[in-house]
Amino acid sequence: MRCVLSVPPAAAHWEFLFCVGKGEHSWDDGVRMANSTKEPKKEKFDFETMKAAAAHKDPAVRKQAFIEYFERFQEFPSYLFDNQSKIDENLYQTMQDLLKDPATTKEMHKGIEALLDRLPS
C-alpha cells in the first residue's frame, strides 16, 4: 500500500491522506483521520483541593466541588466522607441541593441516585 499526505495550498489547514492499495483505507477514512483533532489535556486532578472543597462549610462551595468532580469523572465521590454507619450529613445535604437544582442534568441525577443507593441510609 502506498499513502501520500498532502496539504493543498488553498486549504492549508486541511490535510488529505490518499491511500492506494488493497482497499484497506479509503479517501474518506483519510480525511476523517486528518480532520480529527486531539483534545487538550485536562488539568491534573488535585485530590487535596477537591477534598477541602467537598468538606467546606459553605454548601455552595461543596455543591460546586461535586459538580466539577462529576463533570470530570462521571460519578460522585463518597470516599471523601466517613459513611460507615450512616451517610455523612454534609454529603447528604449536598446531594439534596443538587437534586433540587433545575440545572442538574439527568446524568447527574442518575449519578446521585447511584451514590445514595450504595450508601447506608
Mean pLDDT of 97-115: 96
Reported as a single tens digit per residue, the pLDDT across 50-68 is 999 999 999 999 999 999 9
Q: Nearest Cα to 105, choosing from 57, 56, 60, 70?
A: 70
Identify which of 41, 43, 40, 64 has the alpha carbon closest to the alpha carbon of residue 52.
64
- Residues in CB range of 81: below 8 A, 6 or more apart: 54, 55, 87, 88, 90, 91
Cα separations (Å) of 35 from 13, 32, 88? 9, 5, 48
Q: Which residue has the higher pLDDT, 102 or 32?
A: 102
In the predicted structure, residue 28 carries a pLDDT above the cut 60 = no
Give the pLDDT mean for 103-113. Answer: 96
Per the listing, cell 466539577 goes with: 68
Instruction: Work out the percent of the chain whose per-residue pLDDT is above 70.
Output: 69
Q: Is the dihedral of CA 98, 76, 63, 67 positive or negative?
A: negative
pTM for this prediction: 0.62
How far apart are the two ends of the chain, measured CA to CA in Å? 63
